[in-house]
Amino acid sequence: MTEKPVRRFLLIAGWTTASLLLAACGKPDVPANAALTPAGGPAASTAPARVYVVGTDAAYAPFESQNEKAEIVGFDIDVVKAVAHQAGFEVKFVNTPWEGIFNALQQGDRDLVTSAVTITPERRQTMDFSQPYFDAVQLIVVKQTSKVARFNDLKPLKVGVQTGTTGDEAITKLLGKTSPNIKRFELTPLALKELEAGGVDAVVADNGVVSNYVANNPAGQFKTVTDPSFTPEQYGIAIKKGNAELLAKVNQGLAGIQANGTYQALYAKYFGSASSVGIAAAAASAAAPAASK
Ligand code: ARG
């Protein structure tokens, strides 16, 4: 990214100054919904909305993936776009490898990370999170012929996970960090392909992604297995630790899209059933049928 040094400087200069500078020395991405900005639009006297760079590992359908036109799409993307619109800022999504995604946030190369990120106590030590916006739980996927009926049955088997995910944490606890039976992949779809090819016996990943994959790959002859021992998880939007201003904006946006029904409409679009209750409750009702709460 050629604008990096500029961005670094802007970060030091502070948010307000940053938008003024952007207005003065460069053309900020003109928002598609500019017409929706208050009367008069982005006039010379009004600083244009700041464009925040959002990192996402776009190989995690239906939360984030790339379509045929290489556009980044998905539930997380729609939610963050709606949050941004609600809170009055602009966003630009950048496909970012999962393994470096939190580092990019820390370095200031990304302002936000939306990537079906589970809020965990360990992650909270190095980053801040928005209010939770989705409930999830781990789900095991195996071939239909498999005898696996619970998590413990994976003990003697080869298991594929995406490196550094909560699925990785779960299997690491069961098999031990250095177990040769854990096959770690850069992307969740690579682990699933390996299951299809017979290179691993099972994959452990977030329920929404696993269910989506199984539904879309009937030829793979997969089935899913739940286990009550999996800890209920919640997704949050990650923000650089200490950036209270952006955190407040994001939370304000999230509350707004929940209050005006946008969140529920997006939920229904991706997961099939609308709900008028709270974000966490709406997510829980369809995303974690067996093992949550
Ligand atoms: N929810 C899991 C975690 O936070 C997996 C997220 C992976 N997301 C992705 N886009 N690859 O560890």
Task: For the chain, list the domains and their CATH numbers.
Answer: 51-135+235-284 (3.40.190.10), 138-225 (3.40.190.10)
Our answer on whether the CB atom of 111 is closer than 6 Å to any ligand 1 atom is no
- Distance set, CA 105 to CA 61, 128, 129, 243 (Å): 22, 10, 12, 11
- Distance set, CA 231 to CA 31, 60, 119, 222 (Å): 40, 20, 12, 23
Pairing of β 138-143 and β 222-225? antiparallel
Our answer on whether the CB atom of 98 is closer than 6 Å to any ligand 1 atom is yes
The SS3 assignment for 164 reads coil
Cα(49) to centroid of ligand 1, in Å? 29
Contacts 24+ apart (CB under 8 A), 44-49: 47/16, 47/19, 47/20, 47/23, 48/19, 48/22, 48/23, 49/19, 49/88, 49/89, 49/90
Our answer on whether the CB atom of 49 is closer than 6 Å to any ligand 1 atom is no
Rounded Cα distance, 207 and 234, in Å? 12
Residue type for position 154: L
Cα(2) to centroid of ligand 1, in Å? 28
Our answer on whether the CB atom of 76 is closer than 6 Å to any ligand 1 atom is no
- Distance set, CA 192 to CA 86, 139, 235 (Å): 36, 13, 22
Our answer on whether the CB atom of 109 is closer than 6 Å to any ligand 1 atom is no
Our answer on whether the CB atom of 64 is closer than 6 Å to any ligand 1 atom is yes
Taking only the tens of pLDDT, the chain with its 293 residues reads: 344 444 443 333 333 333 333 334 333 344 444 444 444 444 445 677 789 999 999 999 999 999 999 999 999 999 999 999 999 999 999 999 999 999 999 999 999 999 999 999 999 999 999 999 999 999 999 999 999 999 999 999 999 999 999 999 999 999 999 999 999 999 999 999 999 999 999 999 999 999 999 999 999 999 999 999 999 999 999 999 999 999 999 999 999 999 999 999 999 999 987 543 444 444 444 443 333 33
Predicted structure pTM score: 0.80
Rounded Cα distance, 215 and 58, in Å? 19
Return the beta strands (E) in the chain as ranges.
Answer: 51-56, 59-60, 64-66, 72-73, 90-95, 112-113, 127-129, 134-136, 138-143, 159-162, 182-185, 202-206, 222-225, 233-235, 238-240
Report which protein residue has its CA nearest ligand 1's atom 5.
165
**Ligand 1 nearest atom to the CA of residue 57, by list position:** 10
